[in-house]
Chains A and B, each alone.
Chain A
Amino acid sequence: MNKTDVLIIGAGPTGLFCAHQLGIIGLTCEIVDNLDKAGGQCIELYPDKPIYDIPAVPECTGEELTNNLLQQIKPFNVKFHLNERVEELKKVEKRWNVKTSGGLEFDVAAIVIAGGVGSFEPRKFSVKECEKFEGSSLLYSIKDKTIFKDKTISIFGGGDSALDWAIELSNVSNVNLIHRRDGFSGAESSVQKVKQLHEQGKLNLFTKYQMESVVGDNKIDLIKIKHDEGEIKELKSDYVLGFFGLIMQLGPILNWGLNINKKTVEVNTKSFETNISGIFAIGDICSYPGKLKLILSGFHEGALAARGCFKYAKPDEKLRFEFTTTSKAAQERLGIKK
């Protein structure tokens, strides 16, 4: 059991800055995120794209912003639990018991949902029968690449994941790479490499084809792919890999009894508390009149939510408003030595 004052769900910029604000006012927190790294959409959707509207930062990339925020919360030694999705919240007397997908349990005074648009999940094939093979012979991520040795693998997608795996697996497997168009979104050097492997007969490349159907009983025997012009090809396949990037899903958040409207959680603008006391929502996931889905708004929301958490974490104490420039307590918490 992990006991802390506040559990933050989501390690995007809003969640990270909320951790800072909690630290400044003397509360402890831990952060859970479904991705394998901190940064949320900044790191997953646009790590290299510049952002121009962070106050006092004329230009920075999603990755730089994330690294700076991590640097800023360093004094508070915030514990991260990555690759974990929060599944269940249960009120136990005045505190919350929280369970994650990986079996972690938390005992916290308050919860801040900074979940963006939900947790990132792989995008799947649209063909219905694919579900039957999911996790066995049809995969959206690779945990153990040794299972592919000497097998026939059909890989779908045109981004870096599809290209990198096609190149790597072509050494030990018979690889079919299938993509919906001639152009690829992956790195140009990988595209050239794939074309070269194709010319050398070390990899089969099918462009302007998409998945039509999967055939097999317990495991996939073959797949049918369909060309833009309608022609259908059959490809014997032991494994099918789909790399279509990630999609955001609200997931379990829908089951917690929160007031949800158009995939967002309604909050008050005084403390960003939801309809359930002790549960706060900040960043892209919250909605209120005038809501702007900007990172800077998330920072403001996190600062107020942190103060809203105080009465749950320290019911017998009064929170005094202080500036970091002059507050000894805040400076001590930041580890500043004078």
Chain B
Amino acid sequence: MAKITYNTYDNKTHTIDVQNGLSVMEGAVQNDIPGIDADCGGGMACATCHVYVKEEWLGKLPAKEDGEEDMLDMAFEPKSNSRLSCQLIVSDELDGLEINIPSKQA
């Protein structure tokens, strides 16, 4: 279990306990946190679960697989701290992770 903080674009903060093994995307979708569409359902095929990761967490996350960076090219306003939340699998190490959800996914 990890506490994940999702900051939505309307300046609301949602801190949720997400079970280990779920993705950060699933944590948002299952808890009705707006702004993460996840159209392809977690297949790294659509870039609509794009999030910005708080700088201090960037180095602590698992590295991007081939393909994630390619998909991020398609994301809405990608930045250096962009990740696809379907690729961030929750574990105890992610306890305290904070992400910002972009204004739009497309």
Contacts and interface: CB of A to CB of B under 8 A. Distances in A.
Interface of A: 41, 45-46, 117-118, 123-124, 126, 157-159, 179-181, 183, 185, 210, 228, 244-245, 247-249, 263, 284, 293
Given A45-B45, A46-B45, A159 B40 contact: no
Main secondary structure of the interface of B (DSSP, over half): loop
B93 interface: no
Interface in B28-75: 37, 39-41, 43, 45-48, 69-70, 73-74
Contacts of B39: 117-118, 247-248, 263
Interface of B: 37, 39-41, 43, 45-48, 69-70, 73-74, 76-78, 80, 104-106
B46 A181 contact: no
B70 A247 contact: no
- Most A-side CB within 10 Å, residue of B46, B69, B104, B106: B106
B43 A247 contact: no
A126 B76 contact: yes
B32 to A, nearest CB: 9
Contacts of A46: 43, 45
A45 to B, nearest CB: 4
Contacts of A158: 70, 73
Contact of B46 (A180, A185, A228, A247): A247
Contacts, number: 53
16 contacts: A45-B43, A45-B45, A46-B43, A117-B39, A117-B40, A118-B39, A126-B77, A157-B73, A159-B74, A181-B73, A183-B69, A185-B69, A247-B48, A247-B106, A263-B39, A293-B41
Contacts of A157: 73
Contacts of B41: 284, 293
B73 A41 contact: no
Contacts of B78: 180
Given A46-B45, A181-B73, A185-B73, 10 more contacts: A117-B39, A117-B40, A123-B76, A124-B106, A210-B77, A228-B80, A244-B73, A247-B39, A263-B39, A284-B41
B4 to A, nearest CB: 20
